[in-house]
Structure 1
C-alpha cells in the first residue's frame, strides 16, 4: 500500500519510514512525502485551536486536492514556563525555517533566567483521511530544554533532555529514539488500528 504523507519535511517522512522498517512493514507500506510526488498544492492555513483540528485541515485539503487517501500531522512543543507562545502556534513562533536556528531561538527564551522551569512536552497528532473514514491518534512525551547534545535525529531532538534516560533524543540509539518519538507512537497506534489497507 502507498501512503501520501502531507508534509514537505523530510525529517518527519524519514522518521516514519524508519518506523516502518523497525516494525517490519516496509515491504507492505510505502510512504511518500509531498516532496516525493512533486506537490505544488497551497497548504491550508492552520487556523485550528488544537493539533487535531490543524491535522484534519491538512488531511482533508490534500485528500481533496490529490483525490487520494492522505496522512497528515500537526504537533508542537509546549513550554511550562511560556505556555502561551508555542503549542499549536509552534511553527509561527520562529523567525527562521532552519532547525538549528530554531533551537537557538528557543534557548534564547531561557537566557539569564536560571531559575525558570525548563520542562517541556512534545506533542504529535496524526490524521488519516480517505473516502470511507477519518481516524486520528495522538501521543506526547515530556522532557526538559537543554543546551544541544548529540548529533542524531532532527528538529528539537538535540535540545530535549529526557530525565529517565539522562540523554537528549539526539543522544539515543536510533531504535530507542524512534520508539520514544511521539510522532512514531501516534503512527504505531494507527498501524494497530489497521487503517492502512
Structure 2
C-alpha cells in the first residue's frame, strides 16, 4: 500500500462558488492545469484557448471553484455541446490538494448545475495520459465510449458520457 493522502483538517471550510473562467481567482488553477497538460502531452498550446470564455458563462456554461477556507483548490467547468448535452472541461485539483475527494465534489456539483440548466446528458474527453481522470469518471458512473481493455495510448482522446437525472427541487450548490 502506497503513501496515504493527508487527511483534510476537521475544521476546513469548503464552498463551491460559480464564477466565470476569466475570474482572477480561477487563474492559478487554470495555469497549473495548462502546465500539467504541457508536461503530459508536450505541445497542446491551443487547448486552454480553444474556446472563448463566453462558452463557460451562463446561460449555457459555468465554471465552479471549490474553495477551501476561501482559497481555490479545485474546479471544473462545462459548456454547451448541443441542445441537450453539456461538455465537461477544465477539471482540476491543485497539486497540493489531491486525493481528498475534491474532484468528485466538483464533478457532482457540475452534474447538478448542468441538470438545473436543462441539460439531460454530459459528455467529456480526457487524455490517454490521465489515468486519475479516467478513474474519476468511471467511479462517477460515466460510460466510456471506447474499449476499456485497449491501451489508452493507442486510442488517443478518451470520451465519456453520462445521462443526467432531471433537476430536483431543493438541490443547490454546496
TM-score (norm: length of structure 1): 0.29
Question: Which protein is richer in helix relative to its size?
Answer: 1
| Structure exhibiting the larger radius of gyration computed from Cα positions | 1
TM-score of the superposed pair, with normalisation by structure 2: 0.31
